[in-house]
Amino acid sequence: MHTIQTRPESMWSVSRQWCSLLLLVAAMLLAARAPILPQWNGGESTDYHAAPPFILCGSAVPGAIHDPLLNVNADGSPRPVARIVSSEPLSHAPGKRITIAIVTFAPGAWSPPHVHGGTVNVWVLKGAIRSQLNYGAMEVFQPGGTFFEPIGGVHSHSGNVSLTDEAQALAIFVHDEGATLTTYLK
């Protein structure tokens, strides 16, 4: 008699892969129909009632998606810049949102260690992005490559592999209303 053993962790891995794929497809559909939100233009808006329901990079200024002081590393190299393309409440999960951003890495741009206020699925759109989670192995992701950042994990490094070409990624955050999406640790 043969018995079939299932490994819950492998089932979880397959489920997580399908969930990631579905989120990416949903993000692409939302990004294709969603206009760029002009009131979220780095804090230049004076319409504070139109402020996003989250803070992207540790800025407490209503309407800001980036604190300009956070755009440069200590060595003078640029940091990645995120542009929100959509943010919607999740009707089936009260108090939760899905926020989609295009993250652009200038040549040589990198991000110091940081944490996110929710889970993040990342899909590389162009270029090559080097990523390290929880100070583990460094990995390089090419266009079409994806990685997942669990809540509470430290994204210890992310950066553009190229010193001459831009890289871009689609980042899909699932987070609490009002969450700070990215907090730099250094």
Per-residue pLDDT tens digits for 20-77: 544 444 444 444 444 333 333 343 333 333 445 555 554 333 333 444 456 788 888 8
Residues 147-181: pLDDT tens digits? Answer: 999 998 999 999 999 999 999 999 999 999 999 89
Q: Are strands 96-105 and 167-176 parallel, antiparallel or unpaired?
A: antiparallel
Cβ atoms of residues 128 and 141 within 8 Å: yes
Q: What is the CATH number of domain 8-184?
A: 2.60.120.10
Pairing of strands 182-184, 146-149: unpaired
For 172, counting Cβ atoms within 10 Å of its Cβ (0-12 exposed, 13-18 middle, 19+ buried), the class is buried
Predicted pLDDT of residue 184: 85
Q: Show me where the domains of the chain are located.
A: 8-184
The model carries a pTM of 0.67
What count of Cα atoms within 13 Å lies in the side-chain half-sphere of residue 33? 6
The tens digit of pLDDT for each residue in 87-123 reads 999 999 999 999 999 999 999 999 999 999 999 999 9
Q: Is 177 within 8 Å of 89 (Cβ atoms)?
A: yes
Please tell me the distance from the alpha carbon of residue 148 to that of residue 39, in angstroms, as a whole number: 29
E strand spans, the chain: 81-89, 96-105, 110-111, 114-116, 118-126, 129-133, 139-141, 146-149, 155-160, 167-176, 182-184
Tell me the β-bridge partners of 129: 141, 160
- Percent of the chain with pLDDT strictly greater than 70: 62
**What pLDDT is stored for residue 176 in this prediction?**
94
- Residue 70 is predicted with a pLDDT of 61
DSSP label of 72: B
Please state, in angstroms and rounded to a whole number, the distance separating the CA atoms of residues 83 and 158.
17
Q: Residue 14's pLDDT is what?
A: 44
